[in-house]
Chain A
Amino acid sequence: MDLASAKEIGAGLAVIALAGVGVGIGNIFAALVSSVARNPAARERVFGLAILGFALTEAVALYALVIAFIILFV
């Protein structure tokens, strides 16, 4: 296997991390839905927290993406 194809495979492997991120973001919004359903009055506060959690989880996806970019282009 030459280096170029190994790089492309490696970049593909690097973004497997997105599976975990998908589970994480799904978890966050599932928890958001159930907590708003239980206590609709708390929507404002809980929504802000959910968005914060979403951004933090999404960042993990982007770390994987950055690693893939570094493998591909650097």
Chain B
Amino acid sequence: MAAPGKIDALSQFALHPMLGPLGRMGFSQSTLMMVVAAVLTLALLVLGMRPRAMVPGRLQAAAEMIYEFTYNMCVETIGPEGRRFFPFVFTLFLFILVGNLLGVFPYFFTFTSHIAVTLALTLAVVIMTTLVGLIIHKLHFFSYFVPQGVPKALLPLLVPIEVLSYISRVISLSVRLFANMMAGHVMLEVFGAFVIMLGSAGLLGLLPAGLALGVNTILIGFELLVAVLQAYVFAILTCIYLHDAVHLH
């Protein structure tokens, strides 16, 4: 805790080195959670698809559902070319989804609540879409920044705006995910602190403390929704950017 009587909402995001010698190389609990997320994703897909049953069991049904959901999203948004980008989108979606969901469990850490992580993911997406556009359309790709059917006199104004909006994708995509996860956990922390503060204030504080506890319970449900929703939004925006790169508008 910081000063007494003040809610210390941000210290939950502090990184701690872990596992002795690995920690000195920069291995933190955030990295550990990334490994856990990757292992869980692999386990779901490998163990889930091992039976290869015609009538899937629970785990296989879950794996197939996520696969088909992402596949349909890819093909519907990008078009038939979406099949080529499906592995990328699927990996990204599952990694972020599992990472977001891990944060809801007690004693776990949300690695997507760090701007460094989401910015790295976003840079991967934006650099890849730009490269895809350049490889498919060569120099013709830059016509993406020139809106069609606009008077020539307006172009000097519109082209910089288009370029700016293209570059600001990096910021909007990364800050969206990071801010959602961070704000959710700050809210949980603030209401958790309310419970402790009001509960220790004596008999009069017990009722509001119970209310705050109820709000916190609802917030955890809301966090589950946000975790899935933000992973979905990240994946579908990746698809939309890829669509722009493949089709140029």
Contact = CB atoms under 8 A, between A and B. Distances in A.
Nearest to B236: A52
A66 B172 CA distance: 12
Contacts of A73: 10
A55 interface: yes
A43 B46 CA distance: 34
Contacts, number: 35
A56 B233 contact: yes
Contact of B183 (A51, A52, A56, A65): A65
Given A52-B236, A55-B233, A62 B179 contact: yes
Interface residues of B, number: 14
A7 to B, nearest CB: 14
Most buried by A among B10, B182, B233: B233
A62 B233 contact: no
Interface range, A side: 10 to 19
A58 B175 contact: no
A17 B3 CA distance: 30
Main SS at interface, chain B: helix
B46 to A, nearest CB: 29
A62 B180 contact: yes
B229 interface: yes
Nearest to B230: A55
Contacts of B183: 62, 65-66
Given A55-B229, A55-B233, A62 B176 contact: yes
Contacts of A62: 175-176, 179-180, 183
A59 B172 contact: yes
Interface in B13-47: none
Interface string A31-57: 000000000000000000001100110
B233 A52 contact: yes
Contact of B180 (A51, A52, A58, A69): A58
A74 to B, nearest CB: 9
Nearest to B172: A59
A69 B230 CA distance: 21
Interface of B: 10, 172, 175-176, 179-180, 182-183, 186, 229-230, 232-233, 236
